[in-house]
Amino acid sequence: MTRISESDEYPLEPLKRAGIDVFGLPGEIGQYRIVFPTANFDQRQGFVKGGGDFLISDIPPFEPCLVHLCCMSSPGPQLELLRALRGRGFRLSVDMQSFVLQGDDETGLLRFKDVPEKKEILAMVDFAKLDFLEAKTLTGADVLQEQAEILEGWGSSETVITSSEGVYAWTKGKSAFVKFTNRATRGRMGRGDTLMGSYLARRMDHSIEDSLRFAAALTSIKLESTGPFRGSLGDVLARMETSIPFLP
Protein backbone atom coordinates (compact mmCIF):
# COMPACT_ATOMS: atom_id res chain seq x y z
CA MET A 1 0.00 0.00 0.00
CA THR A 2 1.37 3.38 -0.93
CA ARG A 3 0.33 6.94 -1.73
CA ILE A 4 1.27 7.97 -5.23
CA SER A 5 0.23 10.32 -8.02
CA GLU A 6 -1.02 8.88 -11.32
CA SER A 7 2.00 10.22 -13.20
CA ASP A 8 4.37 8.37 -10.86
CA GLU A 9 2.70 4.95 -10.90
CA TYR A 10 5.24 3.34 -13.27
CA PRO A 11 7.44 1.96 -10.43
CA LEU A 12 4.46 -0.16 -9.33
CA GLU A 13 4.18 -2.01 -12.65
CA PRO A 14 6.89 -4.63 -11.92
CA LEU A 15 5.07 -5.47 -8.66
CA LYS A 16 1.78 -5.90 -10.47
CA ARG A 17 3.39 -8.07 -13.18
CA ALA A 18 4.78 -10.27 -10.41
CA GLY A 19 1.25 -10.87 -9.15
CA ILE A 20 1.56 -8.68 -6.06
CA ASP A 21 -1.58 -6.88 -4.94
CA VAL A 22 -0.86 -3.14 -4.94
CA PHE A 23 -3.18 -0.59 -3.38
CA GLY A 24 -2.28 2.93 -4.44
CA LEU A 25 -3.91 5.96 -2.86
CA PRO A 26 -4.01 9.06 -5.08
CA GLY A 27 -2.08 11.99 -3.68
CA GLU A 28 1.25 13.72 -3.46
CA ILE A 29 4.15 11.28 -3.38
CA GLY A 30 6.90 11.72 -0.82
CA GLN A 31 10.30 12.45 -2.40
CA TYR A 32 13.36 11.03 -0.69
CA ARG A 33 16.97 11.71 -1.75
CA ILE A 34 20.01 10.16 -0.09
CA VAL A 35 23.66 11.20 -0.47
CA PHE A 36 26.49 8.89 0.62
CA PRO A 37 29.50 11.18 1.15
CA THR A 38 31.98 8.38 1.98
CA ALA A 39 32.52 4.67 1.34
CA ASN A 40 30.88 3.95 4.69
CA PHE A 41 27.28 3.36 3.63
CA ASP A 42 26.02 3.77 7.19
CA GLN A 43 26.98 7.44 6.88
CA ARG A 44 24.54 9.38 4.76
CA GLN A 45 22.74 12.66 4.23
CA GLY A 46 19.06 12.61 3.44
CA PHE A 47 16.57 15.09 2.10
CA VAL A 48 12.82 14.58 2.06
CA LYS A 49 9.80 16.34 0.64
CA GLY A 50 6.91 14.71 2.43
CA GLY A 51 3.73 13.49 0.87
CA GLY A 52 0.44 12.96 2.62
CA ASP A 53 0.06 11.05 5.88
CA PHE A 54 -1.67 7.68 6.13
CA LEU A 55 -4.81 7.54 8.26
CA ILE A 56 -6.71 4.51 9.53
CA SER A 57 -9.56 5.50 7.20
CA ASP A 58 -7.16 4.90 4.27
CA ILE A 59 -6.70 1.22 5.15
CA PRO A 60 -8.84 -1.15 3.04
CA PRO A 61 -11.26 -3.38 4.97
CA PHE A 62 -9.23 -6.60 4.89
CA GLU A 63 -8.79 -9.18 7.63
CA PRO A 64 -6.16 -8.45 10.30
CA CYS A 65 -2.73 -9.79 9.36
CA LEU A 66 0.92 -8.82 9.73
CA VAL A 67 1.49 -5.27 8.45
CA HIS A 68 4.90 -3.62 8.03
CA LEU A 69 4.93 0.18 8.23
CA CYS A 70 7.79 2.09 6.63
CA CYS A 71 6.24 5.49 5.94
CA MET A 72 8.19 8.72 5.56
CA SER A 73 5.65 11.04 7.15
CA SER A 74 4.90 12.94 10.31
CA PRO A 75 5.44 11.01 13.59
CA GLY A 76 2.10 11.99 15.11
CA PRO A 77 -0.17 10.52 12.39
CA GLN A 78 2.07 7.44 12.16
CA LEU A 79 1.70 6.75 15.86
CA GLU A 80 -2.08 7.17 15.62
CA LEU A 81 -2.10 4.70 12.70
CA LEU A 82 -0.14 2.15 14.74
CA ARG A 83 -2.55 2.47 17.66
CA ALA A 84 -5.57 2.10 15.39
CA LEU A 85 -4.18 -0.93 13.55
CA ARG A 86 -3.32 -2.64 16.83
CA GLY A 87 -6.83 -1.88 18.03
CA ARG A 88 -8.20 -3.68 14.96
CA GLY A 89 -6.17 -6.78 15.77
CA PHE A 90 -3.28 -6.43 13.30
CA ARG A 91 0.19 -7.78 14.04
CA LEU A 92 2.67 -4.97 13.43
CA SER A 93 6.17 -4.49 12.14
CA VAL A 94 7.69 -1.02 11.99
CA ASP A 95 10.76 0.55 10.47
CA MET A 96 11.85 2.96 13.19
CA GLN A 97 13.45 5.13 10.51
CA SER A 98 9.94 6.46 10.02
CA PHE A 99 10.13 8.06 13.45
CA VAL A 100 13.88 8.66 13.97
CA LEU A 101 14.55 10.47 10.68
CA GLN A 102 12.69 13.76 10.54
CA GLY A 103 13.00 16.43 7.87
CA ASP A 104 13.63 20.11 8.49
CA ASP A 105 10.50 22.07 7.57
CA GLU A 106 12.44 24.57 5.45
CA THR A 107 15.37 22.65 3.92
CA GLY A 108 14.05 19.08 3.98
CA LEU A 109 17.36 17.93 5.50
CA LEU A 110 16.82 14.73 7.46
CA ARG A 111 18.13 14.64 11.00
CA PHE A 112 18.35 11.81 13.50
CA LYS A 113 16.12 12.58 16.47
CA ASP A 114 15.20 10.66 19.60
CA VAL A 115 11.57 9.56 19.78
CA PRO A 116 9.76 10.36 23.05
CA GLU A 117 7.14 7.67 22.33
CA LYS A 118 9.72 4.96 21.52
CA LYS A 119 8.77 2.69 24.43
CA GLU A 120 5.09 2.78 23.50
CA ILE A 121 5.92 2.04 19.87
CA LEU A 122 8.27 -0.86 20.65
CA ALA A 123 5.80 -2.43 23.08
CA MET A 124 3.06 -2.20 20.45
CA VAL A 125 4.82 -3.98 17.58
CA ASP A 126 5.86 -7.58 16.94
CA PHE A 127 8.96 -6.65 14.90
CA ALA A 128 11.15 -3.54 15.00
CA LYS A 129 13.61 -2.71 12.21
CA LEU A 130 16.44 -0.19 12.64
CA ASP A 131 19.87 0.44 11.24
CA PHE A 132 22.93 0.99 13.41
CA LEU A 133 22.69 4.79 13.50
CA GLU A 134 18.97 4.79 14.22
CA ALA A 135 19.48 2.34 17.08
CA LYS A 136 22.33 4.47 18.42
CA THR A 137 20.11 7.57 18.30
CA LEU A 138 17.45 5.87 20.39
CA THR A 139 19.64 3.98 22.86
CA GLY A 140 22.93 5.92 23.03
CA ALA A 141 24.79 2.60 22.67
CA ASP A 142 27.24 1.89 19.85
CA VAL A 143 27.41 -1.93 20.11
CA LEU A 144 24.73 -3.97 18.34
CA GLN A 145 24.05 -6.33 21.22
CA GLU A 146 23.80 -3.50 23.73
CA GLN A 147 21.40 -1.66 21.43
CA ALA A 148 19.20 -4.75 21.07
CA GLU A 149 19.19 -5.44 24.80
CA ILE A 150 18.07 -1.89 25.57
CA LEU A 151 15.36 -2.01 22.92
CA GLU A 152 14.09 -5.32 24.28
CA GLY A 153 14.01 -3.80 27.75
CA TRP A 154 11.73 -1.10 26.35
CA GLY A 155 9.33 -3.70 24.97
CA SER A 156 10.67 -4.82 21.56
CA SER A 157 9.66 -8.45 20.96
CA GLU A 158 11.95 -9.06 17.99
CA THR A 159 14.57 -6.56 16.85
CA VAL A 160 16.41 -6.47 13.52
CA ILE A 161 19.36 -4.08 13.13
CA THR A 162 21.28 -3.61 9.88
CA SER A 163 24.80 -2.26 9.48
CA SER A 164 27.25 -1.94 6.61
CA GLU A 165 28.67 -5.37 7.52
CA GLY A 166 25.50 -7.40 7.99
CA VAL A 167 22.31 -7.87 9.94
CA TYR A 168 21.71 -8.63 13.61
CA ALA A 169 18.53 -10.04 15.15
CA TRP A 170 17.56 -10.38 18.79
CA THR A 171 14.53 -11.94 20.47
CA LYS A 172 13.96 -13.18 24.01
CA GLY A 173 17.62 -12.84 24.92
CA LYS A 174 18.85 -14.84 21.90
CA SER A 175 20.72 -13.29 19.01
CA ALA A 176 22.25 -14.03 15.62
CA PHE A 177 24.36 -12.04 13.17
CA VAL A 178 24.88 -12.73 9.47
CA LYS A 179 27.32 -10.88 7.24
CA PHE A 180 26.37 -9.50 3.86
CA THR A 181 28.19 -11.26 1.03
CA ASN A 182 27.78 -8.71 -1.77
CA ARG A 183 30.75 -8.29 -4.10
CA ALA A 184 29.74 -4.74 -5.08
CA THR A 185 27.56 -2.00 -3.61
CA ARG A 186 25.74 -0.44 -6.55
CA GLY A 187 22.30 -0.89 -5.03
CA ARG A 188 22.59 0.58 -1.54
CA MET A 189 19.24 2.37 -1.77
CA GLY A 190 16.50 0.09 -0.54
CA ARG A 191 18.77 -2.10 1.58
CA GLY A 192 16.61 -1.87 4.69
CA ASP A 193 13.27 -2.36 2.92
CA THR A 194 14.63 -5.35 0.97
CA LEU A 195 16.11 -6.86 4.10
CA MET A 196 13.00 -6.51 6.25
CA GLY A 197 10.56 -7.55 3.55
CA SER A 198 12.46 -10.76 2.89
CA TYR A 199 13.03 -11.39 6.60
CA LEU A 200 9.34 -11.09 7.45
CA ALA A 201 8.29 -13.28 4.51
CA ARG A 202 10.71 -16.04 5.60
CA ARG A 203 10.00 -15.60 9.29
CA MET A 204 6.35 -16.59 8.85
CA ASP A 205 7.38 -20.26 8.95
CA HIS A 206 11.14 -20.37 9.64
CA SER A 207 13.46 -19.81 12.59
CA ILE A 208 15.12 -16.49 13.33
CA GLU A 209 18.53 -17.87 12.22
CA ASP A 210 17.22 -19.24 8.91
CA SER A 211 15.22 -16.09 8.22
CA LEU A 212 18.28 -13.94 8.90
CA ARG A 213 20.42 -16.00 6.49
CA PHE A 214 17.68 -15.81 3.85
CA ALA A 215 17.28 -12.04 4.18
CA ALA A 216 21.03 -11.39 4.23
CA ALA A 217 21.51 -13.52 1.11
CA LEU A 218 18.68 -11.87 -0.84
CA THR A 219 19.79 -8.39 0.22
CA SER A 220 23.41 -9.13 -0.72
CA ILE A 221 22.30 -10.01 -4.24
CA LYS A 222 20.20 -6.84 -4.43
CA LEU A 223 23.14 -4.70 -3.26
CA GLU A 224 25.24 -5.80 -6.23
CA SER A 225 23.11 -3.95 -8.79
CA THR A 226 20.86 -0.91 -8.94
CA GLY A 227 17.12 -1.21 -8.67
CA PRO A 228 15.00 -3.83 -6.91
CA PHE A 229 15.92 -7.49 -6.39
CA ARG A 230 15.48 -9.37 -9.69
CA GLY A 231 16.88 -12.75 -8.78
CA SER A 232 15.13 -16.06 -8.14
CA LEU A 233 14.46 -18.15 -5.06
CA GLY A 234 17.16 -20.50 -6.31
CA ASP A 235 19.67 -17.64 -6.39
CA VAL A 236 18.88 -16.81 -2.77
CA LEU A 237 19.08 -20.40 -1.55
CA ALA A 238 22.44 -20.84 -3.30
CA ARG A 239 23.79 -17.63 -1.73
CA MET A 240 22.57 -18.80 1.68
CA GLU A 241 25.09 -21.64 1.50
CA THR A 242 27.90 -19.09 1.72
CA SER A 243 26.67 -17.53 4.97
CA ILE A 244 26.54 -19.06 8.42
CA PRO A 245 25.04 -17.09 11.31
CA PHE A 246 27.37 -16.09 14.10
CA LEU A 247 25.72 -16.55 17.48
CA PRO A 248 27.29 -14.22 20.07
For 165-214, how does the pLDDT look when each residue is reduced to its tens digit (9 = 90+)?
899 999 998 899 999 999 888 877 788 899 999 999 999 999 999 999 99
pLDDT value of position 135: 97
d(CA 154, CA 165): 26
Domains of the chain: residue spans and CATH:
38-163 (3.40.1190.20), 165-248 (no CATH)
Mean of pLDDT values over 218-225: 94
Q: How big is the chain, counted in residues? A: 248
| Mean pLDDT across 77-90 | 93
Question: Mean pLDDT of all residues in the chain?
Answer: 86
List, for residues 132-154, the tens digit of each pLDDT value: 999 999 999 999 999 999 999 99
**Is 108 a residue whose pLDDT tops 80?**
no
> Can you give the pLDDT at residue 39?
62
- What is the average per-residue pLDDT within 13-23? 81
Quote the Cα angle for 237-241-242, to 5°: 125
Residues 6+ apart with CB under 8 A from 209: 176, 245, 247
Q: Model confidence at 119, in pLDDT bands (50, 70, 90)?
A: very high
Residue predicted with more confidence, 108 or 208: 208
User: Band of the pLDDT at 6, cuts 50, 70, 90?
Assistant: confident
pLDDT of residue 217: 96
Query: pLDDT at position 80, please?
Result: 93
- Model confidence at 247, in pLDDT bands (50, 70, 90)? low
Name which residue leads in pLDDT, 12 or 216. 216
